[in-house]
Amino acid sequence: MAKRKDDASKPLSKPDAEAVAGKGGETHQIASGDTPVLTTQQGVPVADDQNSLRVGARGPTLLEDFHFREKIFHFDHERIPERVVHARGYGAHGYFENYGPLADVTSADLFQRKGEKTPVFVRFSTVAGSKGSADLARDVRGFAVKFYTKQGNWDLVGNNIPVFFIQDAIKFPDLIHAAKPEPDRAFPQAQTAHDNFWDFISLTPESMHMVMWIMSDRTIPRSFRFMEGFGVHTFRLINAEGKSTFVKFHWKPKQGLQSVVWNEAVKINGADPDFHRRDLWAAIEAGDFPEWELGVQLFDEDFARKFEFDVLDATKIIPEEQVPVKRIGRMVLDRRVDNFFAETEQVAFCTQNIVRGIDFSDDPLLQGRNFSYLDTQLKRLGGPNFTHLPINAPKCPFAHFQQDGHMAMHNPRGRVNYEPNSWSDGGPRESPEAGFKSYPEPVEGPNVRVRSETFSDHYSQARQFYISQTEIEQRHIGNALTFELSKVQTPAIRARMVSHLLNIDAGLAEVVAAGLRLKEIPGPATAARPTRQDLKPSAKLSIIKNGPKSFAGRKVGALVTDGVDAAVLAALGKALKAEGAMLKLIAPEVGGVKDSAGAWHDADEKLEGGPSVLFDAVAILPSKEGAGLLASLPAARDFIADATAHRKFVAYAPAAAPLLEKAGVAMDEGFVPLNKSGDANGFVARCRGLRFWDRAAAER
């Protein structure tokens, strides 16, 4: 093993920076050198760029924080008209069906009656890439839901990961600037495998829990339909008596969890960069409507005080073993959009959009988002009247005195446009009985820029996530870190990241250090709090442990030629249909093939355009003559080799044996022979496991 060097985790020296000053202005310099002092756009030196101004260490963010507002305001207006983040998105309409009354914890109208359906619009997205980037980038996925309730619109603006990189919204511009293409070269696109991102992350220990998630398979989901969603923050539910209950929101896919492997993701992006979009569209068109259950973790102030971490810290989760997720309703997406631009592109989500019975916590990241999102929509959609667009307008009655502005589509009628007024027909009027009421949380403390000490443990839950993964998932995390850091050109940044990994898991750090071939192993990074070793693994954090119980919603790609066994093909199609899965035919020519009984079958894909990466399992069903033809085609050999390498279940006809040998694959128990029509049911049953992970063990 390489020699340990205890000072390798020290920060890099900052490069010289050119000073920026207005005409006739002078740059503020620090006394000890030439590095300019960070200032506001007005030239005011900044004392703290790490924390927003709040009341006390755990209190709400103050509107008077001019530095935070200027920084976020400028960041929100950097792009036009594309979203700065979440630019590549895809949406669908549906409904939320409530399972039963929740009046004991919330007065929110949509949760009061069993079986009541509330219209919703959902937008899934990647975060870092532009509108033209590919679907299978390794990235966080946005999972935003707009509920059109009878009390107004509620936006649950979440992600497919329950934690975030940062604890304070003032750091969001820095995070996204670091993750986006480097400004002097405008690449890499939709990737974090570059120096700027890992430089920022390695200097931001609070990101380490999120690092474990983004380097896991969570960031390369098989489909929008097979991923979880999270509200990320701690919110409040308020009942009719004004009692508050803390809540974290979860979306649980009824189809189960599923991701792809990295090599597969890379090839899918080349074969079909619209893979996730096409999948959601096709599922809805086929009537295979995606479903999620809405779950809540409910807890009180007493639990929040006793919990190992701060419930206001967005870099932390509450393990489901400690607070189980109660499933309170289901969401079904059953209608695609009529026009992508009018709906998916123009939809405006704002975390501030809540309804009576739901309220905020003092999470500093959430507090900042409540400002940022509204400001963003103002710029992106051209003015304050974006709520006039049909996709953003509430479906319940609404009335207010807001008027005019860019592209106003409706205005108050008559002489009255203010409140209070003395006219008998001068409504609308406020309603203390029906109106929204904020929870009267007592707040006291000095105006300070500090981070609460309860936010200072940055490694313990990162370790908990890692030890909660299966062996194959842990290997994927190690491989992902090694790949990403191998693209970093600055050796000191690589070493600095390994120093953080030593605080998470020594074995993981050694794997990454060996993969990067570090000349010297750094010492562990300085930690504000030591990593806790007593946190138990949480099975709910593993994808493989929470896979589907059926093969429903998945696809089998069958490679066929003329003379394909008619009985076997029919039996396979029947078995997949009974399972709720799909059979797609891939043939040498897209026109199709003639089976052994003389019947014609149209092909879904031409061989070169339908690689095995597009399917969840494959079947190799050529005739004897067809196998000879396919053996000479590189695309056919790649079809089989990739399916094998990606641990997929492979069904094969007896005639395919020479083709499999030509493709250079070694058959194992993940290969299922289809000698007769009755074998099809057994193959589909095996496919419920999604992948034959033991093949990975054999390769290792």
For the chain, give every domain's residue range. 66-381, 456-544, 551-699
DSSP labels, 616-634: SEEEEE--HHHHHHHHT-H
Q: How far apart are the C-alpha atoms of 165 and 201, rounded to whole Å?
A: 8
Give the contacts of 108 (CB within 8 A, at least 6 positions apart).
102, 149, 151, 154, 237, 355, 356, 357, 358
DSSP labels, 374-416: HHHHHHHTSSTTGGGSTTTS-SS--------STT------SS-
Token pair, residue 436, equals 């929204």
**Backbone CA torsion sign across 465, 471, 472, 476:** positive
> pTM here?
0.90
Buried b (16+ CB within 10 A) or exposed e, 364-393: bbbbbbbbbbbbbbbbbbeebbbbebebbe
Average pLDDT over residues 655-682: 94
Active-site residue, selected from the candidate residues 51, 67, 86, 458: 86
**Closest Cα to residue 214, out of 576, 426, 405, 462?**
462
Q: Which contacts qualify for 397-402: CB closer than 8 Å, 24 or more apart?
A: 398/152, 399/427, 399/428, 400/428, 401/428
Average pLDDT across the chain, whole number: 92
Q: How is domain 66-381 classified at the CATH fold level?
A: Catalase HpII,  Chain A, domain 1 (2.40.180)
Average pLDDT over residues 236-252: 97
**Closest Cα to residue 620, out of 681, 553, 565?**
565
pLDDT band at 138 (very low <50, low <70, confident <90, very high): very high
pLDDT, one tens digit per residue, over 218-239 is: 999 999 999 999 999 999 999 9
Q: Left, alpha or beta for 563 (phi > 0: left; psi -120 to 50: alpha)?
A: left
Average pLDDT over residues 491-513: 98
Q: How far apart are the C-alpha atoms of 274 and 1, rounded to whole Å?
A: 44
Q: How far apart are the C-alpha atoms of 612 and 161, rounded to whole Å?
A: 28
Structure confidence at residue 689 (pLDDT): 96
Catalytic site includes residue 675: no
Active-site residue, selected from the candidate residues 153, 159, 269, 503: 159
Q: Which helix (H) or strand (E) holds 695?
A: helix 694-699
Per CATH, the number for 551-699 is 3.40.50.880
**Identical topology for domains 66-381 and 551-699:** no
Give the contacts of 48 (CB within 8 A, at least 6 positions apart).
449
Structure confidence at residue 405 (pLDDT): 86
Evaluate whether 37 touches 30 at the Cβ level (below 8 Å). yes
456-544: CATH, from 1.20.1370.20, 3.10.20.90, 1.10.150.570, 3.50.50.60: 1.20.1370.20
Structure confidence at residue 31 (pLDDT): 40
Catalytic site includes residue 86: yes
pLDDT band at 43 (very low <50, low <70, confident <90, very high): confident
Q: What is the dihedral of CA 352, 355, 360, 364, to 10 degrees?
A: -10
390-399, 602-611, 631-640: least confidently modelled range = 390-399
Please name every residue paired with 344 in a beta bridge, in sequence order, or none if there are none: none
Structure confidence at residue 576 (pLDDT): 98
Task: Indicate whether 191 pLDDT > 60.
Answer: yes
Q: Which helix (H) or strand (E) holds 197?
A: helix 195-202
Evaluate whether 225 touches 279 at the Cβ level (below 8 Å). yes
Count of all residues that appear for the chain in the document: 700
Cα-based angle 578, 581, 555 (whole degrees, multiple of 5): 150
pLDDT, one tens digit per residue, over 110-134 is: 999 999 999 999 999 999 999 999 9
DSSP conformational letter for 43: -
Please name every residue paired with 156 in a beta bridge, in sequence order, or none if there are none: 145
Is the backbone peptide bond immediately before 45 cis, with ω within 30 degrees of 0?
no
Q: How far apart are the C-alpha atoms of 523 and 525, rounded to whole Å?
A: 6
Q: How far apart are the C-alpha atoms of 227 and 220, rounded to whole Å?
A: 10
Could you tell me which residue, 540 or 3, shows the higher pLDDT? 540
Task: Indicate whether 16 pLDDT > 50.
Answer: no
